[in-house]
A and B are shown apart, each in its own frame.
Chain A
Amino acid sequence: MRIAGRGRIDRRSPVRFRFDGIDYSGFQGDTLASALLANDVRLVGRSFKYHRPRGVLTAGSEEPNALMTIGSGAGAEPNVRATVQELFPGLEARSQNRWPSLNFDLMAVNDLAAPFLGAGFYYKTFMWPRAFWERVYEPVIRNAAGLGALSGAHEPDRNEKAYAFCDLLVIGGGPAGLMAALVAARAGADVIVADEDSRMGGRLLAETFEVGGRPGVNWADNVIAELNAMDNVRLMTRTTVTGVYDQGTFGALERVSHHLAVRPEALPLETFWRIQARRSILAAGALERPVAFRNNDRPGIMTAGAVRAYLNRWGVCAGRRVTLFGNNDDMHRTARDLLSAGIHVVAVIDSRHDAPDGRGYRVYKGAMVCDSSGRRGLESVTVRSIGGEDRIATDCLAMSGGWNPTVHLTCHLNARPTWREDILGFVPTPQAVPGMSVAGACNGAFSTHDCLREGAAAARDTLEDLGLRAAAIDLPEAEDAPHAISPLWAVPGSGRAWLDFQNDVCVKDVRQAAMENFRSVEHMKRYTTQGMATDQGKNSNVAALAILADVTGRGIQDTGTTTFRPPFSPVSIAAMGAGAQGKGFAPERFTTSHKASAERGAPMIEAGLWYRPSYFPAPGESHWRQSCDREVNMVRTSVGVCDVSTLGKIDVQGPGAAAFLDFVYVNTFSTLKVGRVRYGLMLREDGHVMDDGTCARLGDTHFVVTTTTAAAGQVMRHLEFVHQCLRPDLDVALTSVTEQWAQFSVAGPRSRDLLNAVLDNPIAVKDWPFMACGQVFVGGVQARLFRISFSGEQAYELAVPARFGDSVFRILLDHAEKIGGGPYGLEALNVLRLEKGFITHAEIHGRTTAFDIGMDAMVSDKKDCIGKAMSRRPGLTDPDRERLVGLKPAGEVQLLVAGAYLFSPGDDPVRVNAQGYVTSVAFSPTLGHMIALGFLRNGPARHGERVRMIDHLRGLDATCEVVDPVFLDPEGERARD
C-alpha cells in the first residue's frame, strides 16, 4: 500500500513493470520489492526445502526470500534480490522455486513431510544403496530443492574488470562513512566511498531523524554534494565491497547498468573492481535480526527496520494493520513512524517487562508472539503474556531481535569478532584488518550521534597515518538514544520456528544437531545447512549461535562464529571472469607472416599462445598429409620457406657474456668465433635437460641465444635468475628480442639460389660455411643471416626487424615459387626434423638427461655449469635408463603412434614390463614409411633389435625395429653442401 506524502520516490515518474506475467506500476526510485509491496503483492517466493510461501523480509542486500529471475532469454539473471533491484520501465521479474505457479506449488507437499526432512535428513536417508546417490537421489533432490536457473546460453552481456587506487577507502556511505569521508577529503586525502545502495545516506534514507537541525537525508545530500565537487573524492554507488585481501587490496562489485531499461552500448552490466587502499574505514552499518517463533516465516512478517525503511524511503506500508514484536527500543521507532503516517498500529509486543510505554499505541510488556496464521500471508498472530494467549488480527508483523553489526569484512583475513553482551552483538576485534578502522553501527555504535563521532574520529586517525592534518570540524547534532535491548532469540514452544529462511533451518534443527553431538558451530552449520544459503546467514547466524550456545551450555563468545569468507554478497562468475570469454580467454600471438599464411588458406595450429601455419594446401589437396608430404619433398629437392619467429630469441651482451654462456650451457661458448653459431644444451640445476637451441656470436661481447618456442619464457626467466642470483659479478645484459625480429627458415638444396635472388648482395659459398652467421641486407634493410639447419638440408635463417617481416616473407615466397619452392608449415617442419633425429620438447620433456639423448659428451669437463653436479648422479647415468632411439615398423602393422609403450617381444605387455615409450612419430615421405623417436632401456645398445609397440588406449600392437635416431644423411653432408 502506497502512503501519500511519504518516501523519496519520484511520484511524477510512474514505472510499469511485470511480475509473474501480471503488469504493475511503481515509481522511479522504487526497488522491485518496494513496488511489489506498494501493489500489495506479499507472496514473492517459495523456500528452498519446504517450498513454504515467502514474502519480503528485509529492505537490503541481506534479503533471503525475495529472490527472482530478472529478464528473459539468454541474459535472464536468476536469484536477484528484489530488495536490491531498482525498478525500471519494462522490468520483467519471475518468481522461482515453484511449479507450476507461485500460488499453487506442487512441491509444497514437502512442507507436509517436514517431520522427515529435518537436520541431517539427506545424510541419514540416502545412505544406500550406494549407487543410487548419483543416479537417483541427487538429481531428484537437486530438482526439488533449487533456486533460479541460468539460461544455459552464452552470456550476452559484457562485464568489466577495473582497478582503483586511493589513500582511503570508506566502505559504506551512511552517517559514519559520510562523516569520515568528509573529514578525510577536506584534509586532502584521495578518498573512495563505496556504497552498495543506489544512493548514499545509508540508514538516514530510512529514518526521520534530524542531523544538524534538518532532516538527516538533507544533511547527507549536502555532504554528498560537497564530496562530489572535490577532485580528490570518488563516490561509488551500487558498489559492494565484497572482499578484503592482504596489504590493503579490496574486491568490489559495481552493478553498473542493472537499473537501466536501455543499456548504453558503452556500459558494462557489472564491473568487478580491485581497489588498492593505503587505509580503509569500515562503516558498513548493521543488519536487523528476526525473532524465531512458530510460523515466523509467513509473508507479511518482516523486520521492523525494513517496515520503517519502506515507509520512510519508499512511502510504502507492508500492511494496513501493523503489529510489532521484539526485545528492544528501536522497534518502537517503527511504531511511532507508522502512527505519524496515519497507519493503524495494532500493538507493540515487547518481551521486556520494563518496556517503555506506548505513545499512542498499545504495548504488551513481557509478552511474546508465539504463533502466526494465514494461508498465503499473515492474517493473525498469537500473543502470549502473563494473562494468557490472545489472537490478534494483523496483516503485517514488524519484528526485531536487535541489530547485528556488519562485521563480515573484518573477518576476511581470519580474525574473529568479539561478543558484546551489552548490545547483544558481535563487534569487530580491534586490528582485525591491518590499516582498517571501524566506525558507527558496524562497531556497535548505533546512535546517529555516535556514528558521526566515530566516523570523524576514524578519519582523524587515518589522516595521521597518511601524514595529513585534519581540520577542526564541528559534529552536527543528532539523536543519541541508548541501545536498550534484552536477550530474545527464540520464543519457547513447539512447532517450527525459522532461523535461516532461505535454507529452511529451524530452531529445532540446531537443537537436534547439538543433541547428535554436532556441537561445534562449524559442524552444526554443515549438518543443518544453517547460513549456507545465498544470504550466508546474515539474518540468522547470530540467533543460531545463541541457540547452540544455550543448548550446549556455553557462552556465545565461546561458541564462536563460523568463518566469514568473501564475497560479502553474491558475485557472478561472469563479473569475476570479465573479459575472459571466447577470444578473451587467452591472448593470441601472431607472427608477422600470419596474414600472408592465412591468405594462402593455411590452417593454424596453436603453439602456446602463438598461431603457426600447420600446412599450406595446394589446389587439389584434400588431406593434410598430401600437403605435408609435398612440402617435405619440396624442401628435400628444392627450397622451402618457414616462419620460425616464434622461437625465443635472447640478446646477450656485455664483457661477461661469454663467461655467462659457458655457465648456463653444458658446452663452451667462450671459444666460439665471431660470425659462428653453435648448438647448445641447457640443463636445469637438477641435472635434467631444460632446453636446447643455437647461440650465435655476433660480436666479441654480443651473442644471440635461441630457445624452443615452448620454453622461451622459461629460459629467459632462468637466464635472468642465473645472472642476478648466482652470477651478479658478470657484466652482462639480457634482452628478449623474440618480438623484435621476424625470422624465416630458407631450407633446401636451392636455398642459396633463393637467398641470392632476394639479398642485396649475393652470398659466396666460401664466406658462408655451415654454422656461419653475419649481417646481410634485404632491400636496403639490415638483416641477420644464420646458416643453420633444422631439416638436415642446406639451410639458412634470415632475420629482419619485425616491421619488415610481412614483406620479406612475401618476397621470399615469390622467388621460391619461381624455382619450384614454396612455404612449408609446422607439420612438414616436424617430419623434416624427425627424419634427422632432431629433438623437440616431445623428447626433452623434463625427465630426460643429456645422457638419455646421447649428448653427455657435450657436457664440458673443463668448467662448471648449471646442472652439471647433479647430472653426474649415478641414477642419471645408468646405461639401463630409457634412452633415445629411432623406431621403424618391422611387421604387418605399419602405424606408429606417439604415447605408445615399448615391450620386449616375449614379455607380457603390462606396465611393469615396459621398456620405454614413443615420443614423436611421422610418416616419412623420403623413406616411404613411418618413423618414430622414443626412449628405450639401454636403447643405443639395442639397434637392430625388435620391440613391440603397444598402445593400450587405441588398441595398437606393432613390431618395430630399433634404429639410430638419425634416419637420413647421418654424416650431415647435405647441410654442409
Chain B
Amino acid sequence: MPASGPAFPVLGDTMEDAAQQADVKLGQPDFIQFKDVTKKFGDFTAVQNVSLDIREGEIFCLLGGSGSGKSTLLRMLAGFETITDGRIILDGEDVAGVPPERLPLNMMFQSYALFPHMSVERNVGYGLRRDGVPKAEIATRVAETLELVKLTDFAKRKPSQLSGGQRQRVALARCIVKKPKVLLLDEPLGALDKKLREETQQELLNIQRTLGLTFIIVTHDQEEAMTMADRIGVMNLGQIVQVGPPRELYEQPNSLFIADFVGALNRFDGVVTSQVGENAQVRVQNGMTLKILSPYEFNEGERVKVTARPEKLSVFPADSNEAPTARNALQGQVTFVGYMGDQTDYRVMLDGGVEVKITEQNHHMSTKIAIRTGDKVRVDWPARSTALYSA
C-alpha cells in the first residue's frame, strides 16, 4: 500500500493522449538535464535534489507556490547562482562555472529589466552589439524582431514611455533576437491583466512554435501552466513533487498536494469500511457512505482522504426523473449558486452534513436553470474520478 499513491483511475484515453503529446515534439529528450541539483543559501536549502530532463523544443512550466525555489532553479541554469551540489547539463555541457554571458540561453526577467536609458531599438539590439554582429545585420534583425512582437512603431521610445504589455514584448524581443536555443521566462506575464495575459500566452506559444525554441516558464498560476505547457514540474519546498503533461497532473496526481494544487478540489476525511477488488466503500464525515473505485487496496478501517474535482460531480433537481448518471446519488440542499457565464458553481450541503463544490458547464442548462439556493437537489457522484489517499 503506497503512502499516497496515484489513485485517480485512468479514463482509457488519458495516457495515450499524454504519450502522443510528448511524441509530437522532436529533439533531444535530455537537452537540459538537472542532476540531483541542490542549492543552499547559508543553512537554508532553497532547492533540494532536483533531477529533471527537459526535451529540446518543449515548453516546460515550473509551477509552485511563492518561495518554492522556482526562480532559484532557473537562475542556476542561467549562471546567476552557483550550484551547491549536483550538475546541470545544457546541450551536453556542464553549466557550472560558465559565466552567464557565455551560456547559449536567454532569460526574460519578471521585472523585464529593460535598460531605462536606451530606446526600445537599442534595448533589443544590445545583445547583438555585444556579440559583434555587423551593424547592418543588427538593424535588419532588430527590425524583424520588432515586427514579430508588433512594436515597430515604438522603436524610438524609451521603456518608460511604454505600457506594461509593450514592455513585456520588448523584453521578449530582446531575448529572441539573439536566437538562443533556450528561453527562460520567470513569471513573464505576472504584471499583465487577465485579458492581456491570455492574448500574450497565445503570442508566446506562436513565437515558440515559429522559432522552435525550448521554453522554460516559471509561474505560480496553475491555469497559465495548464494552457501553455507541454509538461509541468510542480515544486514545493525546493523539491520537484511531480512532473508530467498537464492532463496527467490533473487526472493522476501522485499526491494530495498535487491534487489540491492543480485545480479545485473537494476533500473529506473518511474511513474505508470495505473493499472488494476495486470496489471500496468509504464512510465520510457524518456517516455518509460513498462507493468509490480505487485501484489501490486499503485495509478495512483505514483512515483516508477522499477527493473529487468539482466538475466531475453533477447536480439535478431533486424531483428530476433523469436516471442517476453515477453510482452515488446523494440528496442535498443548495447553499450557493454562482453563475459565471460559461459555467455555474454550486455549493450543496449533502444530507450527511458535508458540503461539496460542483461546477457545471452551461451548455445543457435546460433542466438546471431553475436550480436556486435552498432547493433540494440530487448530486451524482461517480465512483470513478474520485480518489483516495491514505490520511
Bound pair (A, B): no
Which A residues are within 8 Å of any B CB, using their own CB? none
